[in-house]
Amino acid sequence: MQKYLELSLSVILQTAVIIQGQSISPLNTPHPVQATDSTVVITATASPPSWVISPEGNWILSWIFNGTEVALVGYVPYPNVDSAVESTIYSSRITVSVVAMPANFTTQLTIAQIRADEDGYQVEFGGIGIGFEVDSQSIVLNIRDCNSSLPYSVIVDATSRVFNSPGTFTCSNEGELFYSNSTMLTSSDTTCLESAEWSGQDNLQCWTAPNVTLASSLSDGNKLTVLEGDGFHLTCNYNDVIPAGNTSRFYIGGKSYATTQGEPFILSSLQRTDNNKVVSCQAVTPYTDLSPASGRSSESTLDVLYGAAQDEIRTCNWNLNETGICSVVFFSNPNSQFVSLSKNALRKLENSSVKAES
Question: Domain with 297 in it: what CATH number?
Answer: 2.60.40.10
Kindly state whether residues 265 and 323 are assigned to the same domain: no
Domain's final residue, options 268, 284, 306: 306
Burial (CB < 10 A; 0-12, 13-18, 19+), residue 71, is: buried
Q: Is there a single domain that holds both residue 336 and residue 299?
A: no
Q: What's the confidence (pLDDT) of residue 59?
A: 64
Q: What is the pLDDT of residue 5?
A: 39
Nearest to 214 by CA among 289, 298, 130: 298
Per-residue model confidence (pLDDT) at position 333: 81
Q: Which residues of 90-104 are buried (b: 16+ CB within 10 A; e: fewer)?
A: beeebbbebeebbee
pTM: 0.70
Which of 207, 227, 259 is the last residue before a domain boundary?
207
| Same domain as 48, residue 18 | yes
User: 250 with 182, same domain?
Assistant: no
Tell me: do 323 and 302 sit in the same domain: no
Which domain does 188 fall in, by range? 145-207
| Dihedral sign of CA atoms 116, 117, 120, 121 in order | negative
Q: Write out pLDDT tens, residues 300-329.
A: 999 999 887 766 656 666 676 676 666 666
Q: Residue 152: which CATH number?
A: 2.10.70.10
Q: How far apart are CA 160 and CA 157, in angstroms?
A: 9
**230 and 286 fall within a common domain:** yes
Which residue positions in the chain have pLDDT lower than 50?
1-29, 51-53, 55, 78-87, 131, 342-358
139 and 9 together in one domain: yes
The total domain count for the chain is 4
The alpha carbon of residue 195 and the mean position of all alpha carbons in its chain are separated, in whole angstroms, by 20
| Inter-residue contact 98 to 85 (CB < 8 Å) | no
Q: Torsion over CA of 14, 15, 21 and 27, rounded to 10 degrees?
A: -10
